[in-house]
Amino acid sequence: MIFSFFKDKYKKYNRPTNNIKFLSKESCPFQQDDFKSFSDFQNLIELSFDRFRKKVNEIKYTSNSRIYIEFGTHCVEIDISTNSPNYILHEKLDFELNECYHYFIFDSRLFYRTLCGPKFDHRNNIEIGALLKLKRVPDIYEQGVHLSSCYFHK
């Protein structure tokens, strides 16, 4: 008797096709946001990079790879090959890529939310939700890159 009660509830509420139809019509919250200017990103990136640098130094991570984060028509290039990581903020996408790199592509509105902190959006959720494009050259997973990049927010 009890088993049939749960069985009926399962049939009624857990139909994946209904959920897919519903979710496909929904937009992500960041898609409602306004596009930000380059100057809006500059201050947030500086604050975020300080936190990122502390994490890289804490885990004692260095790599020959560079990290590129593209957002809209801009890009942040992060060099973690030394004990003192640094970054370059490119206003346009006209620069040479390093021979070893991790290249992340964000929607600029989503990247702005990520920079504002985990209260708004967290990089792990973005990667799991497939809202982030990634290219690695060579195609070798570096845990330190992904771990430290989760701390790239203010």
Spatial separation of the C-alpha atoms in residues 104 and 71, rounded to whole Å: 9
> CATH number of the domain that 123 lies in?
3.30.1050
E strand intervals along 43-148: 66-71, 74-79, 86-90, 101-106, 133-137
Tens-digit pLDDT profile for residues 83-110: 778 899 988 888 888 889 999 998 888 8
Collapsing DSSP to helix, strand or coil, 135 comes out as strand
Mean pLDDT lowest for which of 73-77, 101-105, 114-118, 122-126?
Answer: 122-126
Q: How many domains does the chain have?
A: 1
- Residue-number span of the structural domain to which 106 is assigned: 33-149
Sheet with 101-106: strands ordered across: 86-90, 74-79, 66-71, 101-106, 133-137
> Would residue 117 count as lying in a domain?
yes
Rounded to 5 degrees, φ, ψ at 16 are -60, -35
Question: What's the whole-model pTM score?
Answer: 0.77
> Would residue 130 count as lying in a domain?
yes
Spatial separation of the C-alpha atoms in residues 16 and 130, rounded to whole Å: 19
